[in-house]
Structure 1
């Protein structure tokens, strides 16, 4: 896999000049993924001091194509999500090594390569990347370079308000010039809350990792940083807070000033909540740069088939005016997932106690479809469990008789999905529905 690297150009003590015999060289900071900076990075790399937003996460996800999608047919991935979502953060720290299957995915999937990395599910983000230190004289001549490359994973949590970031060195570039003494040159890598100072309760625990190049070369450990979210700082429903974090590195060389400003990766977004309606999962933090959607397959194995429901949803999404009940005006039915370009804001979950109005409207429509055979049920889309359901004043709906066993199966998968994708109520979250053949 091709590894991108940040460029960190360091400065010795004393006057900047081309007099390399005295070990003096120029201070600048650049990186390969963002414009050059002569001082601390600007808002395209580190976030400005403001709260992250729901819309910001969705926009970032649309730009990278990150989605939280699991097929009902993929039982192994579903099991992995349940295991990871049940894990305790302290247990992960104690175990050190992340699951090898996740590490392999990160190292073999090109989407994880580069400064942003990739969100593979709300529960995990990963990245293969690196930091490179370079020194030049006043004429731009290269005086030496050294690099540390790594794989990093950020674990969401469904048991506490934290994100665990783990980093392991993968390779080192051969140090040259002013960096050629690997026992004297030090690379310092750490994690940061990019919005520290806004009072929004984001904090990073565990110190930076400060090692010589020789020590990095011998290092096979996973290094941890815990990013926590203080629920007392929130006034939102479910005590939701959104934060930005990133990784950064600096370098020290013999006779230097202790290193330049850190060179950061682009920031990443997380969302933390204390929702009480997830049984056994009262607090959580997720990776927020992701488009969440549930997938129903039209042609799947009989044991997991939801054929009739999937066909119905596709009809409702693609040809709403041909669905029942008819409407004197063109029907608008939301929730269709279009890759990287959702056409509306998705479906917003509501509490089961609030589904009554939706079910009452659907019941009236279903009564007009009777008699329905005993092995069938009346299915509705959008789901009664959403704000966009049949009673919505802003959207239309569809009702259709479908295979009863398949309808029950589809409902069970929907309940699994909103739980394990940590779908919050109402305007705090939303998801899409994707129909595939």
Structure 2
């Protein structure tokens, strides 16, 4: 099953579900009020992104102030200090790094640091317009965070979620104390990328829909997704892979305001597996959109010949064998894909050695070995049939060290059969 059609159907349904839920909560009659769907609005105030409005429209609106200040000046009880957050290990470090990748972090998929850490941070600046859609009568500013943690050794993924730094401005009788922010998580399984019986156990609480004051005092909440562990079955070919699509929807509502809704404002693609020793720890979970790179240096004396060979294949393929006009070799811009079948790997290795023998003769009994790139453990190896590969005689110890570096990358990133990765050679 492809990902696109199921997701598209789910998104359309989610838009309608969100809108109906929020209208019901506000006591309003059903109307096409989703701010992101581009449909006609009911005759009620509504939130829009500040980027869609001319600056002069904001001049009459009071300057936004911290929510705690607003609550005090509007005769509400003093806002409570934020409650202590009981988060997951590594949150502080990931937050600090995420802040340095602002452009990526605010995208739908967020900034994916690695196969085991992801971060989403989006700054919202919303303007409340009047029912005639001509005047700004309110403003809501906040930061939404989602920190994701997958695990090498556990079929589990954790999300630390929060709404922080809330600022408001209100005019024309608007009361920001009635404004609410909602976050709702849901998941789907891509059956085409999963093994039979794929299942995900979702958290008990998947939605938080609170007044601004409640977010201000308790900004954080956590979610944990797991996948049932049925014990090792990898020897029979069942890796218990579960490709999950985990979405977060975001909305802003009020009893007198049409809901502002973003369906799938943040999305994670997460894979659970029980692949066995072929990837080190027998089971684990990864963010599959992470870019995995095998990095080797030409200055590293333990693999400098392997690194130079790959560098020539990627940058100067005319220096490599087999040689032909217009040759290109993948791995730098086009990914390689792992092969785990030992028979296929050995067949490619034998074929590469034959290619080496054609150019340099049999090196058996010497310190030299036939090095191949792309590697025998990839689909793009010498038996793919397009001759976009290179073979070269290099020092045997160097060749063996290069092989260890490849395996270490597979293990460190839970690279399964068919998973993509890239190769980067540094000077």
1:380-399 to structure 2, matched below 5 A, reads 380-399=372-391
For the Cα contact (< 8 Å) 2:337–2:379, is it kept in 1? Answer: yes
Cα shift at 1:408: 2.9
Cα shift at 1:255: 6.8
2:307 equivalent to 1:310: yes
Deviates more, 1:305-314 or 1:199-208: 199-208
Map of 1:118 onto structure 2 = 111
**Separation (CA, whole Å) in 2 of partners of 1:152 and 1:396:** 41
**Separation (CA, whole Å) in 2 of partners of 1:294 and 1:280:** 16
**Separation (CA, whole Å) in 1 of partners of 2:295 and 2:375:** 14
For the Cα contact (< 8 Å) 1:384–1:390, is it kept in 2? Answer: yes
Deviations 1:209-246 (A, max 9, x none): 3433223223354x2222345689xx996343433222
TM-score w.r.t. length of structure 2:
0.67
Map of 2:88 onto structure 1 = 96
**Separation (CA, whole Å) in 2 of partners of 1:414 and 1:154:** 27
Based on CA coordinates, which of the two structures has the bigger radius of gyration?
2
1:254-403 to structure 2, matched below 5 A, reads 263-278=263-278, 281-300=281-300, 302=301, 305-324=302-321, 326=322, 334-338=329-333, 342=334, 346-367=336-357, 368-369=360-361, 376-403=368-395
Map of 1:242 onto structure 2 = 243
> Tell me, what secondary structure is at the counterpart of 1:355?
helix
> Tell me, what secondary structure is at the counterpart of 1:189?
strand
Map of 1:191 onto structure 2 = 185
Judging changes above 3 Å, is the alpha-carbon distance between structure 1 residues 391 and 113 closer, same or farther for their aligned structure 2 residues?
closer
**Separation (CA, whole Å) in 2 of partners of 1:113 and 1:214:** 26
TM-score w.r.t. length of structure 1:
0.66
Gaps of 5+ in 2: 1-17, 42-84, 231-235
Map of 2:79 onto structure 1 = none
Cα shift at 1:202: 4.7
Judging changes above 3 Å, is the alpha-carbon distance between structure 1 residues 381 and 369 closer, same or farther for their aligned structure 2 residues?
farther
> Tell me, what secondary structure is at the counterpart of 1:129?
strand
Cα shift at 1:192: 1.9
| Correspondence for 1:28 among 29, 33, 47 | 33
Cα shift at 1:102: 1.4
Map of 1:150 onto structure 2 = 144
> Tell me, what secondary structure is at the counterpart of 1:265?
strand
Deviates more, 1:187-196 or 1:117-126: 187-196
| Correspondence for 2:413 among 402, 421, 435 | 421
- Number of residue equivalences: 348
> Tell me, what secondary structure is at the counterpart of 2:416?
coil
